[in-house]
């Protein structure tokens, strides 16, 4: 509970530095923070054009492809950007670790705050576009999945930020793992493709699948992965998140004393 106490005490600092971090990413460009929103937006639209109009993918089933695709991809881009950014955050803020008395525990949260600006923008785009097509989301499900995403990202980056700091090569491995996770998570392909196989249950137990499918299904149907099988996958998600947080918290606390020496 020490981490949450520190985070709550320094929440205003984390938010303020998160805003500055987001602005500083594009400080040397003419359009500034516009690039932060433009790049992922163009990326998502390109995927829609390629898979709907060129490859003519039938992943969306009975739904318009753009309505099926945008929510899942927006959630994934938020998660992947947040993980990669927060994992390198302690190295990026090495001056705070080495030169002043600063609550190092909140540094990954600063980067998560920065990544959330783009994430919220992409999610708003998904909501607006889907609503235009007549698919208004269940906002209670949207809020719940966003809460799940924040909790999981805090838990995971607690571990990855510490390990990346003491073992720099881990950052390269993490990039590869995130790329693999994108293809093994049903973002571009549909879980219905493997519905007849028992392996579908393994995929549904993956945290990224829970977040992507949970957010996507908020736009589409009443029965979702959240309530499916008597909430089994919801229970699995929170168990995994709790384990990852406890493990990451232990690693962070053990390695924190070495941060200043390795930076």
Alpha carbon distance 147, 24 (integer Å): 26
| pTM for the structure as a whole | 0.90
Instruction: Specify the number of domains making up the chain.
Output: 1
Alpha carbon distance 91, 71 (integer Å): 32
Alpha carbon distance 203, 197 (integer Å): 11
Per-residue model confidence (pLDDT) at position 101: 75
Per-residue model confidence (pLDDT) at position 30: 61
- pLDDT tens digits along 158-175: 999 999 999 888 999 999
Per-residue model confidence (pLDDT) at position 34: 73
Query: How many Cβ atoms sit within 10 Å of the Cβ of residue 95?
Result: 10
Q: Quick check: 208 and 216 in contact, CB under 8 A?
A: no
Cα separations (Å) of 46 from 42, 52, 70, 180, 185? Answer: 6, 10, 11, 20, 19
Domain that holds residue 33: 2-262
Tokens of 16: 């303020």
Per-residue model confidence (pLDDT) at position 242: 96
Which residue positions in the chain have pLDDT lower than 50? none
Give every CB contact of residue 48 below 8 A, 6+ residues apart in sequence: 65, 66, 69, 70
Q: Could you tell me where the DSSP H helices lie in the chain? A: 2-9, 11-25, 34-48, 65-87, 89-92, 94-99, 107-132, 139-166, 169-184, 199-204, 207-217, 228-255, 259-262
Tokens of 32: 């500034």
- pLDDT tens digits along 75-87: 999 999 999 999 9
Per-residue model confidence (pLDDT) at position 164: 93
Query: How many Cβ atoms sit within 10 Å of the Cβ of residue 180?
Result: 10
Four-residue CA torsion sign, 36, 38, 44, 46: negative
């Amino acid at each position: 509970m020490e981490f949450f106490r520190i985070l709550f005490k320094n929440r205003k600092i984390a938010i303020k530095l998160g805003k500055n971090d987001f602005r500083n990413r594009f400080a040397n460009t003419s359009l500034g923070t516009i690039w932060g929103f433009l790049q992922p937006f163009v990326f998502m639209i390109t995927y829609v054009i390629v898979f709907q109009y060129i490859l003519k993918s039938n992943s969306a089933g009975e739904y318009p492809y753009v309505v099926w695709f945008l929510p899942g991809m927006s959630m994934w881009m938020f998660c992947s950007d947040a993980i990669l950014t927060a994992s390198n955050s302690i190295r990026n803020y090495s001056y705070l670790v080495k030169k002043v008395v600063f609550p190092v525990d909140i540094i990954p949260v600063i980067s998560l705050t920065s990544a959330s600006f783009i994430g919220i923008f992409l999610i708003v785009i998904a909501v607006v576009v889907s609503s235009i097509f007549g698919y208004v989301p269940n906002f209670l499900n949207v809020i719940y999945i966003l809460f799940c995403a924040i909790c999981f990202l805090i838990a995971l980056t607690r571990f990855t930020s510490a390990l990346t700091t003491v073992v720099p090569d881990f950052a390269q491995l993490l990039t590869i793992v995130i790329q693999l996770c994108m293809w093994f998570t049903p973002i571009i392909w549909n879980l219905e493709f493997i519905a007849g196989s028992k392996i579908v249950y393994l995929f549904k137990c993956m945290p990224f699948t829970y977040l992507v499918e949970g957010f996507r299904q908020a736009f589409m149907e009443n029965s979702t992965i959240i309530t499916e099988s008597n909430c089994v996958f919801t229970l699995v998600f929170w168990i995994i998140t709790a384990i990852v947080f406890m493990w990451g918290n232990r690693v962070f606390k053990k390695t924190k004393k070495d941060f200043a020496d390795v930076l």
